[in-house]
Copies of this chain bind each other. A is one copy, B any other.
Amino acid sequence: MASPKIILYTNHNCPWAHRAHIALKELGLVYEEVIIDLTKPREPWYLDVNPRGLVPSLSYNGTIITESAIVAQFLADAHPSHLVPPSGSVDGALQRAQIAFFVDTFLSKVQPHVHASLRASTAAEIDAAADALVAAVETELEPLLAAWKGPGPFFGGSDRLTLAEVLTGSFLLRILHYSDARIGLLSARLPALLERTPRFKRWAEATVQQESVNFIWDALKSANAIKAKLGITR
């Protein structure tokens, strides 16, 4: 297959757009990057690319694909790799379904507690959000992680990154870094609490150590962007 012409419209502070970077890097695809300033109203030319005005948008040989999960899945489907098995067999379909369920569980049960912490106005509320986050990891994710068969740290026990980490890695970076004292968006108690969820801790730490996950990451910049957006002064 000839190398596709890829343009990624993105912003490095957006965890959704970040998913496309992980997928592109993991697949070894060459791409041109166009940074969209999310602090200003979108310019008309960008609304022509993506009428919703969101990032990421992917131009793939001239066809526009939007919505981060759809972009990442598209890249993984179009370029068969270790990220996800092909559809079309029961085993492949089942693994795809299990990855989708795992990501859905992370986003619907765990991630909301990060948002609760960002919305919090007192130290007690920030601590409560961390407690709730770790409780959700314990109840919802640890049983799924316990069922992994392989010895590796990634989805299912794989020793290479999968689509599950492509779709969650940018959020894991924030969970592991936003409790830093210089940032303070998550409770300083969170690292100690995560000792209670060793499978999650191993998975999250292995994921954020991958270059494909962290190569555009700047903890302070991303934290400052979210603080500015939400008017957080702490």
Contact = CB atoms under 8 A, between A and B. Distances in A.
A12 interface: no
A88 B100 CA distance: 18
A42 interface: no
Interface in A43-58: none
Interface range for A: 20 to 34
A88 B80 contact: yes
A93 B74 contact: yes
Nearest to A100: B70
Contacts of A71: 97
Nearest to A140: B51
6 contacts: A66-B101, A73-B93, A77-B93, A78-B90, A87-B88, A88-B88
Given A60-B90, A73-B97, 18 more contacts: A63-B94, A65-B97, A65-B101, A69-B100, A70-B97, A71-B97, A73-B100, A74-B96, A74-B97, A75-B93, A77-B88, A78-B89, A78-B90, A78-B94, A84-B87, A86-B86, A86-B88, A88-B88
